Chains A and B, each alone.
Chain A
Amino acid sequence: MIAPPSILPSGSKTLVRPPAAELLQARPKGPGLLDGYAPPPGVFDEMLGADDKVRPHYRQLVSTLATMSEPERERRFSSAAQYLREAGVYYRVYGAAEQGEQTRSWPLAHPPLVIERGEWAALAAGLIQRAGFLEKLMADLYGERRLIRDGVLPPAILGRNPEFLRPLANQASGRPLIRFIAVDLGRGPDGRWWVLGDRAQAPSGAGFALENRVATSRAFPDLIRDLKVERLAGFFKKFRETLLALDDGKGLRAGLLTPGPANETYFEHAYLARYLGLLLLEGGDLAVHGSSVVVRTVDGEKPISVLWRRLDSDFADPLELHPRSRIGTPGLARASREGGVEMVNALGSGILETRALLAFQPALAKALIGERLTLPTVATWWCGQEAEHAFVSENLERLSLARAFPQTIGNEEQRRPLDLGIRLSHSERLLRDLDIDPQAVVGQEIVALSTAPVFVDGKLEARPVTMRVYLARHADGWSVMPGGFARVSSSTDPLAVAMQSGGHSVDVWVSSDREERRVSLLSNGAAFSRRLPSAPPARAADNLYWLGRYVERAEAATRLVRLFTARLAEGERRGALEALVAELLAEIGVDALLADPAKGLLDRAKRAFDTASRIRDRFSPDGWRALGDVVRLIEQHLDAPEGSDLVALSSEVLTRLSGFTGLVHENMYQFTGWRFLQAGRLIERGQLTALAAAALGGEETPEGGLEALLEFCDSRISYRRRYSVDLSRETVLDLVALDPLNPRSIAFQVNSLKTLLDELPGMRRGESLAPVSRRAARLAVRLTTGDASEANAKFLSRIADDLGDVSDLLSERYFTSGPKANADRLDVE
C-alpha cells in the first residue's frame, strides 16, 4: 500500500500540542500588540513568519491595529457587532434536549484572516481545477459510472452510499450537475493549503461570509480601502446572472429551496434569497405537473424552472426519495430527472461529500481529468480495503476515525452543515465499526492546522483556523469567491474547529493590487424598468395574514391587560368590569387570573414573533427586531423580582408594537404581501372591537364599562372632540362601531378591508364577486346603514361572526394549497 502524502512536517510523526501556559512563557516581550502572541511551535502562523517577523501582507493590518487605542478597537468591534445584531444575523444551535434549540447571535471575531494576492491566485487556480474535477466525478457517478466499471473506485463506495440516489442514477445529460460548491481548507505546517473536504450537497456559509464582510467594513473601512480588499459582490452578481440564465431564456424567476424555518441556517437562506432576488420557497410551495414545477402563489400556480437547492436531496421528494420527508415536493425527483427543473446542485450531489472518495484522489484525477490535482487532500485511508484497514488499526493514536459515507437521516451522528468535523473522535461506535464494518470507516491524518491572530479579551491570540471557499459554475467555467468564510477555534487545540462547539468566524480578506470598481447587485446599468413583484407563495401570504392577526391580537391583549390591572392598581376592588375583561382576555388566550397575566402576553407575542420568523425574507430586519424586543421586554418582566409594574410594561409593549406597525406601514412595499398582512390586522381588529363592544357596551354595561371600551379602542380623545356630552352608550357605540372616520371603529376596518380585497389577485372589477368580497361588502352595508340604537350585543356578536366567515373565505380562496393537516402514507399490508 502506498501511503497518501503526509501533511505533517517531515520527520515529525506526532502532533505537538504544548499547553497554552507554556506558550505564553516562551516569548516574554515588552508591551505591544504582539505582546504574548505565541503560535504553538511546529505550526504555521498566518501572521508571523518562521523568523518571528510579521509577514509582509499582514504589516499594514498590524501597524494600523497597533496605533489604535484599546477603546478605539473596542468601538470598532462593537460597531461590527451592532450591525450583525441589527441585521438579525443568527445561527440555530442544538442544545441539550431539555432546552431544545436556541438561536444565538453570530460569533464574528477580529481581525480578518488576510491572504496575500499571489498566494490566493495559486489557491484559486487549484480550487478551479478541483471544481472541474468534482463536476466530472459527479457526471460519471450519475452517468456512465466508468470509474466503477474500470475499477478505479471500489463498487461498495457507490453501492452502499446513502447519497447515491437511484431515482437519479442516470441523470447526467452533459449539463453540469453541480454549480455551487464549497471546499474546506486547512493549512499544514509546511505552509500549503490542504483540502479537508468538499461541500456539494447544499453548502452553507456564503451568506454569513457576506454579512461578515459588511460587518468588518463597518469596523475597518480604512483598512479595507488601504489593503484594496477584493470585493465579494461581483461573485454573487455573476452567480445570480447564471441562475437566471439557466431557464433558457424563458424569463422566469428563480427560487431558493429551503428546508424551512426550523433549519439551523434558515437565516442565511432568507438573507441570500433577499440579496439575490430569488423567491424563498419551501417544498410545500411547489407542485409538479407533468414534468414541470410550479409555485403555488396567491395568484394561482406560476411556473419555475431554476431552484438553488438548500434542502438535502433525500428530503426533496417523499414519493421517490425519503418517504418520511414532510418538507419535500412529491414528484420533484421525476421533474428534475426529466429536465423540467434545474436544481443547483442536482439531487444526489451530496455523494461528493463522501469521505471515502478522498482516499482515491490521485487515481480519480488521472481517470477524470488526466492530470494531478494541484491542491493536496488530507491523507485518508478507506478501511474497506484490507491493507488500509490494517494500517489504520495499527495507527489509531495518530489518525482520526470518521464516517466513510455521508450520514443518513435520523442518524444521531448527523452532519451539521457548519461543522467541519475535524476532531479527534475515536467514538466507541467508530471503533466498533472499524472491527465489524470497516467499509463504513476512514482513517484520516490529524491536521495540525495553521493559526491566525484573533482578539480574545483585548489581546491577540493565535488560534487554529480553517477556511471555507465557495465556487460557482458559469457558462464559461468555474469562478472562486475572492475571500471566504474562516473559522477559528475557541481553544488553542489545533484539532477542533466547529461552530457548534463555540468557535468563531472571521472574515477572509484577499489583498489586491488594484482598485476595484464597486459592483453592486442593485444596479446593473441595464435599461430601467419598474416591475411589480411577483405574487407571493400561498404559504408566505398565509403567514403574512396571520402575522397581521397575531400582532393585532397581541396589541388587544396588552390593552386589555392594562385595563384589567390599571383599576386594581388604583385601589379599586375586582368587580363586574374586571370579570368581563378577564372573559375577553380568556377568549384570546390570556389567563388574567394568573398571578402574572404577562405570561399570557408572552405567548401572544411569541406567536407573532414565530410567525414573523417564517417569512423573514418579506420584511425588514427592523420590523423583525421590534417584535423580538417585545418578547424580550415581557421575558425580562417575568424574570424580574416581584413588583415589576405591569401597567408600565403594557405601555412599553404597546409602544413597540406600534413601532412595528409603523415600520410595516411606512417601509413595506405596499403590494400583494402587504395587503394580506393588512387584511389580517383589519379582520382581527374588527373582530376584537366587536367582541369588546358587545361585552363592555352591552345593554347592561357595568360601571366604568364605557370608559373601558373607549380606552380599549384608544378613542378617548376622539370621543371628547366629537361629542361634548357625557358618556352615553349610544354615542360610545356609534364611535367605536359605526363611525367611518374613526380609524379604530369596526366600520373603518370593514370599509378598508373591502377596498383591500378588491385589490387582491384574481379580483377583477366588473366581474361577479368572489364569496369573500361579497361577504365583506354586505357587512360594510350593514355597518353603514346601522344605527347606534340597534347596536346591541347581538348585533355586535353577529359582526364578529361575519368577520370570522370573511377570514375563512379568504383562507379558502388563497391559502389552502399547501399540506397542513396530517400527512399520511398509503400502506399496503
Chain B
Amino acid sequence: MIYDLALKIGYEYPSDVKDARHILRVRPLTERGQRLVTNRLTITPQPDESRADRDFFGNALDHVLILPSHDGLSVTMRARVEVNRARPDLAATPDVAEIRAMAAAARDSDGDGPMHFLGDSRIVRLSEPLTAYAAETIKDDQPIGEAMLAFSKRIREEFDYAPGKTTVSTPLEDAFARREGVCQDFAHIMIAALRGIGLPAAYVSGFLRTTPPPGKPRLEGADAMHAWVDVWLGPDHGWAGFDPTNAMLALDDHVVVAVGRDYGDVAPIDGVLITAGPQKTTHSVDMKEVG
C-alpha cells in the first residue's frame, strides 16, 4: 500500500514570541514493514537553525530554532510512504505468562528493549484500578496476540469516543473513570493497564488512512494525528501495533511516525513559549491511497 500524506499544524500566538526552540516529531519512520519514499517538511517562519536527529527510540526529530519575533508557527509535512506489514499469526504467539517472564528478563537495553516499557513514565503511572482492569480481561494462558486484540476490543466497547471531552493534559485516571476520551486517552489507558500486569507496552503516534476502502466504515481518528499501542509479543514476533480506538491490529491502514513510552516522548511539536495567553491551534491530516 502506498500513501500520500499531508500533515498541517498551525499555531497562532496571542502575543509575539522570539527565541523559540522546538522539537518536531512528524516524519514517518522507515521500519517494520514501512518505508519512507519521499518527504518534505516546511516550517514558517523560516527557522534560523534546523537539524535532523534521531532520539533514543529511533524516532526522527527535527530541532528547530526561530530567533526573530513572530506571532505564529506553521508546520507542513508531506510524505509518500509504502506500507506492507505482515499480519501476525496471533494464535501462534507465546502465552501471556511467558511474555511476562521473558520481558522481565530481556537484556536488550536499546530503544526497543522491553525494559523501557514496563514501568512508570511521565504520563503513564501504574495504578491499581488499571492493573485490575487488565487482570480481569487478560488471562495468563492466552496467546498474547489474541489477548491483546480482545483487550483492544473491550476498550473500544466500553469507552465513548468523545472528542473535546479530554485534553492532552487530562490525567489518564480521569479518562478511565469516565470511560471516555480520544485515541490518546485510550492508548494511555491500555499502556498503563498492560504494564500493570508486567507486559511491555509502547505509545505510537502516526496516521490513519482518511478514506476507507470501498464498503468499509471510516475509521475514528483519521482527521488528525492518531495514537495506538505497540505490544511486545516476544523475541520472535517482536512488537506489534494494536489500536484500541478502532479495535484492530495496526497494519496497512496505519503509518507510524514515532514510538515512545507515552505521549510525552512522541509529541509532534514540543517547545516552551513565552506568551501572554492561550494559543490557537489548527491541525489537519490527509492520507490518501495512491497505489
Contact = CB atoms under 8 A, between A and B. Distances in A.
A289 B128 CA distance: 45
Contacts of B114: 155, 159
Interface in A797-829: 817, 819-829
B115 interface: yes
A322 B121 CA distance: 11
Interface residues of B, number: 54
Contact of A320 (B23, B104, B118, B283): B23
A156 B119 contact: yes
Indicate the member of A150, A155, A290 with the most B CB atoms within 10 Å: A155
Given A287-B19, A821-B274, A826-B11, A155 B106 contact: yes
A149 interface: yes
B169 to A, nearest CB: 8
Nearest to B67: A289
B49 interface: yes
A167 B268 contact: no
A319 B22 CA distance: 7
Nearest to A288: B21
B275 A822 contact: yes
Interface string A552-590: 000000000000000000000000000000000000000
Interface in B159-204: 167-169
Nearest to A149: B107
A488 to B, nearest CB: 37
Contacts of A389: none
Nearest to B119: A160
Nearest to B23: A319
B105 interface: yes
A827 B167 contact: yes
A155 B115 contact: yes
A167 B279 CA distance: 28
Given A145-B109, A160-B118, A323 B264 contact: yes
Contacts of A330: 21, 271-272
Interface string B249-280: 00000000000000011011111111111110
A829 B104 contact: no
B107 A148 contact: yes
A158 interface: yes
A824 B273 contact: yes
A260 B106 CA distance: 41
A334 B52 CA distance: 12
A741 to B, nearest CB: 45
Contacts of B224: 829
A167 B57 CA distance: 9
B53 to A, nearest CB: 8
A145 to B, nearest CB: 4
Contacts of B116: 159, 166
A287 B22 CA distance: 13
A437 interface: yes
B107 A824 contact: no
Contact of A823 (B73, B111, B268, B272): B272
Contact of A824 (B21, B73, B272): B272
Nearest to B120: A160
B213 to A, nearest CB: 27
A166 B23 CA distance: 15
A826 B283 contact: no
Contacts of A167: 55-56
A829 B167 contact: yes
Contacts of A600: none
B107 A319 contact: no
Interface in A711-736: none
Indicate the member of A149, A820, A826 with the most B CB atoms within 10 Å: A826
B182 to A, nearest CB: 8
Contacts of A287: 19
Contacts of A320: 23
A821 B224 CA distance: 31
A151 interface: yes
B160 to A, nearest CB: 17
A341 to B, nearest CB: 15
Indicate the member of B19, B106, B278 with the most A CB atoms within 10 Å: B19
Contacts of B11: 826
B15 to A, nearest CB: 8
Contacts of B273: 823-826
Interface in A282-327: 287-290, 318-320, 322-323
A169 interface: yes
A151 B108 CA distance: 10
A68 to B, nearest CB: 57
B283 A825 contact: no
22 contacts: A145-B109, A148-B107, A155-B115, A156-B104, A156-B119, A159-B118, A160-B120, A166-B111, A166-B116, A322-B122, A330-B272, A334-B53, A408-B120, A436-B128, A822-B277, A823-B273, A826-B269, A828-B225, A828-B267, A828-B283, A829-B168, A829-B224
Smallest CB-CB A-B distances: 4 pairs? A160-B119, A159-B115, A155-B115, A166-B56
Interface of A: 145, 148-151, 155-156, 158-160, 162, 166-167, 169-170, 287-290, 318-320, 322-323, 330-331, 334, 408, 436-437, 439, 817, 819-829
Interface of B: 9, 11, 19, 21-23, 49, 53, 55-57, 63, 65, 73, 104-109, 111, 113-120, 122, 126, 128, 167-169, 224-225, 264-265, 267-279, 281, 283
Given A323-B270, A822-B276, A828-B267, 4 more contacts: A151-B107, A322-B122, A436-B128, A823-B273
